[in-house]
Chains A and B, each alone.
Chain A
């Protein structure tokens, strides 16, 4: 038995002539948070969809708990325990916290053919789960639309964990959030990892990734630029490895130049 909970070995994905992903390898242990970094168009979305079973990889293999796995649908990925939280979160703002939490997987009670949605049990579980992460939903029948962005993110993550995720794939969980909200979500992610989940955190924000990540995989134009342990790489190095880094250096030089010209006049 290898150390790794899940391994994505040499994954490639082509769309016609376009090489979306080429030889990307990621390996995660239990309790590990791997940050997947990359600029827009680096192939992050394609990689997530491959992990979630939406796309089948054209090359490479997925090994989960030492078994080679082929996903035919997103449901297969969910069933073995790869829970993906997409950017849109799959939450309905007009529906209650409870109804969102159990959407599609409602607990039932009663006799066959007259089974009812066990709202009380569902309310209790939803409130408990949200309470564990320090979010007081007060009234689980309140609409999700009344929650803050960070709380919604936590609800979606909490839901994925409750329904059996062992590997959590999070797509830009902090991108739309302010500092306070983002730190709430990051704290929760660390807590989830400490309870034995493997987390793949997709982001283009190094400042959010660096404090929580154990390892970092950088994607650039469909290729992995390598996976680095936290001790081996600095925040600045990571930033410059993402395509944005060089660009930003260039921008800085250009701005200085403009400043210089401006001061001269």
Chain B
């Protein structure tokens, strides 16, 4: 599944099978898993460009707004996509977000830990949860759907119970003051390219506040993480041995094991990946809001899976792409924000989300048949 296709050795053209037709570049493109999501993204932009083009949705501020939402979803969607390619699901993503949030907030606020230490603690817990999910699935052979559904309830319950036990409430505010001068928090809480936006503002190219500072202050950290993770995941999938193992583990567990792929290790690491991505999501949101909420991340696992599916991942594993999932997230993020700029009631967003997923699944199914079509 390399991106480019090459014609091979000249001598082989002698015994060419006359029943084979040349594959057009379009067909090659059609075989790429991310095509659907890419096309969908373009359609969504065209749609909002026409419907909401003059409403401020495509101002710098508006764009950063929907990019931020897309990027947040994208961070978990990419990890979910990689796990799906590896043949498993993680339904505990949303609960892990809530859990990671209080893992940061409670030590920092109530136990007096420095913020960076609570962040490290949250990531350590994420590795543990992911490892537990993975080892349960690999060792018991149970469907990951069930194992991680159990984890969904366990983590959400733990989050609520522990928070109420320690704080007596379900929210832990007061983090914002800790961010400054923290050696780690800036990774999740700093807008970048501020100078660029200031410069644009000084040229009056973007909207300004009444005090003269630009409305859009910089690229939010979520977007940077999102781009970095998309590139990293794509590099892993397409360019490394481990990436090949992910496809193999999801495509045919038995076959992969027979030729020496450490399927168990691959799957466990992918579960750790989704839990860690959830924690990145939690860090960004908690530090942005300045507080942790026990219900944060609810239903995010389903949105992440939906984005991955729209991005071309097969539910049965072995096929998909990180770029596809990224575009899937962009579609959902853009529509969920864009709908505010139109006259359409926001209630329709869920209808759109569901319909989009159905279309994607039908489309993916068709593509899979095409890809594996015997001659």
- Show the binding face of A for B, using Cβ within 8 Å: 74-75, 78, 86, 88-96, 98-99, 102-106, 108, 115-117, 119, 123, 127-128, 131, 134, 136-143, 145-149, 159
A259 to B23, CA, bound (A): 54
B38-46, B94-102, B214-222, B246-254: which lies at the A interface? B246-254
Interface 0/1 of B1-30, CB less than 8 Å to A: 110111111011101110010010000000
Chain A proximity of B348: nearest CB distance (Å): 35
Are A117 and B372 touching (Cβ within 8 A)?
no
Number of A-B contacts (CB under 8 A): 130
Are A99 and B247 touching (Cβ within 8 A)?
yes
Residues from chain A with a CB closer than 8 A to the CB of B314 are 94
Chain A proximity of B284: nearest CB distance (Å): 27
B140 within 8 A of A: no
Extra pairs beyond A117-B244, A127-B8, A159-B259 (18, CB < 8 Å): A78-B260, A90-B259, A93-B252, A94-B314, A94-B368, A94-B371, A102-B244, A104-B245, A105-B260, A108-B241, A117-B243, A136-B15, A138-B20, A139-B6, A139-B7, A141-B1, A141-B5, A148-B375
| Contact for B17 among A86, A127, A136, A140, CB less than 8 A | A136
B210 within 8 A of A: no
A28 to B371, CA, bound (A): 41
A128 to B254, CA, bound (A): 27
Are B16 and A136 touching (Cβ within 8 A)?
yes
Q: A139-B6, A147-B375 are in contact. Are A95 and B239 (CB under 8 A)?
A: no
A94 to B247, CA, bound (A): 9
A98 to B16, CA, bound (A): 20
Residues from chain A with a CB closer than 8 A to the CB of B260 are 75, 78, 104-105
Are A103 and B5 touching (Cβ within 8 A)?
no
Residues from chain B with a CB closer than 8 A to the CB of A149 are 374
Are A96 and B2 touching (Cβ within 8 A)?
yes
Are A90 and B251 touching (Cβ within 8 A)?
no
Residues from chain A with a CB closer than 8 A to the CB of B251 are 92-95
Q: What are 11 sample pairs from A and B whose C-beta atoms fall under 8 A apart?
A: A74-B258, A90-B252, A90-B255, A92-B247, A93-B372, A95-B318, A104-B261, A106-B241, A139-B7, A140-B8, A146-B373
Residues from chain A with a CB closer than 8 A to the CB of B239 are 116-117, 119
A75 to B257, CA, bound (A): 11
Are B252 and A143 touching (Cβ within 8 A)?
no
Residues from chain A with a CB closer than 8 A to the CB of B295 are none
Are A141 and B373 touching (Cβ within 8 A)?
no
Are A145 and B252 touching (Cβ within 8 A)?
no
| Contact for A138 among B8, B252, B256, CB less than 8 A | B8
Residues from chain B with a CB closer than 8 A to the CB of A99 are 1, 244, 247-248
| Contact for A103 among B11, B15, B240, B261, CB less than 8 A | B261
B319 within 8 A of A: yes
A53 to B239, CA, bound (A): 33
A241 to B2, CA, bound (A): 50
Q: A92-B255, A95-B1, A98-B2 are in contact. Are A127 and B243 (CB under 8 A)?
A: no
Chain A proximity of B247: nearest CB distance (Å): 5
Chain B proximity of A184: nearest CB distance (Å): 12
Q: A94-B318, A104-B248, A106-B244 are in contact. Are A137 and B374 (CB under 8 A)?
A: no
Chain B proximity of A112: nearest CB distance (Å): 13
The residue in B254, B255, B375 that gathers the most chain A C-beta atoms within 10 A of its C-beta is B255
Are A136 and B241 touching (Cβ within 8 A)?
no
Chain B proximity of A204: nearest CB distance (Å): 22
Residues from chain A with a CB closer than 8 A to the CB of B6 are 123, 139-141
A159 to B260, CA, bound (A): 13
A108 to B372, CA, bound (A): 27
Residues from chain B with a CB closer than 8 A to the CB of A147 are 374-375
Residues from chain A with a CB closer than 8 A to the CB of B12 are 131, 136, 138
Residues from chain B with a CB closer than 8 A to the CB of A93 are 251-252, 372
Are A104 and B7 touching (Cβ within 8 A)?
no
The residue in A78, A127, A141 that gathers the most chain B C-beta atoms within 10 A of its C-beta is A141
Residues from chain B with a CB closer than 8 A to the CB of A141 are 1-2, 4-6
From 188 to 226 in chain B, residues with beta carbon under 8 angstroms from any chain A beta carbon are none
Which residue of the partner chain A has the closest CB to B254? A88
Which residue of the partner chain B has the closest CB to A160? B259
Q: Which 4 A-B residue pairings sit nearest by Cβ, starting from the closest?
A: A145-B372, A92-B251, A90-B255, A104-B260
| Contact for A104 among B2, B13, B256, CB less than 8 A | B256
A128 to B319, CA, bound (A): 26
Are A123 and B2 touching (Cβ within 8 A)?
yes
Residues from chain A with a CB closer than 8 A to the CB of B247 are 92, 94-95, 99
| Contact for B23 among A103, A104, A139, A140, CB less than 8 A | A139
Are A143 and B372 touching (Cβ within 8 A)?
yes
Residues from chain A with a CB closer than 8 A to the CB of B13 are 136
A98 to B20, CA, bound (A): 20
Chain B proximity of A115: nearest CB distance (Å): 7
A89 to B255, CA, bound (A): 7
From 327 to 375 in chain B, residues with beta carbon under 8 angstroms from any chain A beta carbon are 368, 371-375
Q: A90-B254, A94-B368, A128-B9 are in contact. Are A115 and B2 (CB under 8 A)?
A: no
Which residue of the partner chain A has the closest CB to B253? A92
Interface 0/1 of B54-76, CB less than 8 Å to A: 00000000000000000000000
